[in-house]
């Protein structure tokens, strides 16, 4: 087994006094897709947000434990969170393109980082949109507003926006659950196609999606990581009754 790209140790997150994540430890291998599953309120989004320090934006959030990326704890005061979010990008449940052109959405992160050369930007746009499997649909309307796209197209533009900053890790919080089945299928295929280049953490409610595209799966319940295993093993022979009940649809 190769070395972990990301190691979460003894991570707890509180919203005021409420503990939403309870001493979770797990590690992620490079270029694997890890599915994070569990019922509503189990702490899946809280974990993703902790991994790129989104809690910093909320004074009610307290985080303890560590998240080591590239040999360095991202909770160290020396971490530059702008740099961090370039390396660890995030895609949300609701497609959230900025109210600007498709082109400007994709180059947003590059412009923030001071890239001005038009040729560099043009190439980055084409490459990111290609990788997000939406280039052919938008190449003739790059300067139209991203808001005019369908939800599924908007979500692929959001994936392209993240890819343009050349992340190593992509956090995906239910990226297909707000989409119709055809758009959801396209995003899922796109993610699967990105597997050889990126490490992905995918929160999903779809057991089918988890079993189709993930290598590993973690099952959360009430802030605890109950079980973490190879996806095939988890779905064929879950080790805990709660996991079995959840994946067979007895609750959730």
> How buried is residue 89: exposed, middle or buried, by Cβ count under 10 Å (0-12/13-18/19+)?
buried
For residue 45, the SS3 value is helix
Instruction: Identify which range of 27-35, 39-47, 70-78, 101-109 contacts ligand ATP by CB under 6 A.
Output: 39-47
Please, are residues 19 and 223 in contact by the beta-carbon 8 Å criterion? Answer: yes
User: Which does residue 15 touch among ligand ATP, Mg ion, none (CB within 5 to 8 A, set by kind)?
Assistant: ligand ATP
List the structure tokens of 208.
């089918």
Residues in contact with Mg ion, counted by CB under 5 A, come to a total of 1
Of 18 and 116, CB closest to ligand ATP: 18
Q: How far is the CB of 240 from ligand ATP (least distance, A)?
A: 17
In the region spanning residues 53 to 112, those forming contacts with ligand ATP, defined by CB under 6 A, are 58, 60
Q: How far is the CB of 10 from ligand ATP (least distance, A)?
A: 18
Instruction: Identify which range of 26-34, 36-44, 114-122, 193-201 contacts ligand ATP by CB under 6 A.
Output: 36-44
List the structure tokens of 11.
């991570």
Of 25 and 113, CB closest to ligand ATP: 25
Task: Give the chain's end-to-end CA distance (angstroms, integer).
Answer: 33
Q: Does 176 bind Mg ion (CB under 5 A)?
A: no
Of 45 and 101, CB closest to Mg ion: 45
Q: Does 175 bind ligand ATP (CB under 6 A)?
A: no
Of 18 and 118, CB closest to ligand ATP: 18
DSSP letters for 180-212: -HHHHHHHHHHHHHTTTT-EEEEE-S-HHHHHH
> How buried is residue 168: exposed, middle or buried, by Cβ count under 10 Å (0-12/13-18/19+)?
middle
Please, are residues 146 and 105 in contact by the beta-carbon 8 Å criterion? Answer: yes
Q: Does 45 bind ligand ATP (CB under 6 A)?
A: yes
The strand pair at 61-69 and 6-15 is best described as: antiparallel
Q: Pick one of 34, 46, 153, 231: the residue that binds ligand ATP (CB under 6 A).
A: 46
Of 12 and 153, CB closest to ligand ATP: 12
Instruction: Identify which range of 41-49, 75-83, 148-156, 186-194 contacts ligand ATP by CB under 6 A.
Output: 41-49
Q: Pick one of 28, 34, 43, 109: the residue that binds ligand ATP (CB under 6 A).
A: 43
Q: Does 20 bind ligand ATP (CB under 6 A)?
A: yes
The sheet with strand 216-221 has its strands ordered as: 88-91, 169-173, 199-203, 33-37, 216-221, 224-230
Tokens 């702008």 correspond to what residue? 82
Q: Does 45 bind Mg ion (CB under 5 A)?
A: yes
Instruction: Give dist(CA 106, CA 149) in Å, integer.
Output: 14
Residues in touch with Mg ion (CB under 5 A)? 45
Residues in touch with ligand ATP (CB under 6 A)? 15, 18, 20, 38, 40-46, 58, 60
């Amino acid at each position: 087994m190769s070395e972990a790209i990301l190691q979460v140790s003894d991570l707890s997150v509180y919203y005021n006094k409420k503990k939403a994540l309870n001493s979770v430890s797990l590690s992620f291998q490079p270029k694997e897709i890890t599915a994070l599953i569990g019922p509503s309120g189990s702490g899946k989004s809280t974990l993703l947000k902790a991994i790129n320090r989104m809690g910093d934006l909320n004074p009610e959030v307290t985080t303890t434990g560590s998240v080591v990326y590239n040999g360095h704890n991202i909770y160290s005061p020396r971490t530059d969170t702008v740099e961090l979010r370039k390396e660890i990008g995030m895609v949300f449940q609701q497609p959230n393109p900025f109210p600007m052109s498709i082109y400007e959405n994709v180059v947003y992160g590059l412009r923030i980082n001071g890239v001005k050369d038009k040729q560099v930007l043009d190439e980055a746009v084409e490459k990111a949109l290609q990788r997000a499997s939406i280039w052919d649909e938008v190449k003739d309307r790059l300067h139209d507003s991203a808001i005019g796209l369908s939800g599924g197209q908007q979500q692929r533009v959001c994936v392209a926006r993240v890819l343009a900053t050349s992340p190593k890790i992509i956090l995906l919080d239910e990226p297909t659950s707000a989409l119709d089945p055809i758009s959801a299928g396209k995003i899922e295929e796109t993610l699967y196609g990105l597997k050889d280049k990126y490490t992905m953490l995918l929160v999903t409610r779809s057991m089918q999606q988890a079993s189709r595209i993930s290598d590993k799966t973690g099952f959360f319940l009430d802030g605890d990581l109950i079980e973490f295993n190879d996806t095939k093993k988890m779905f064929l022979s879950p080790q805990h009754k709660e996991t079995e009940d959840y994946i067979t649809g007895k609750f959730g």
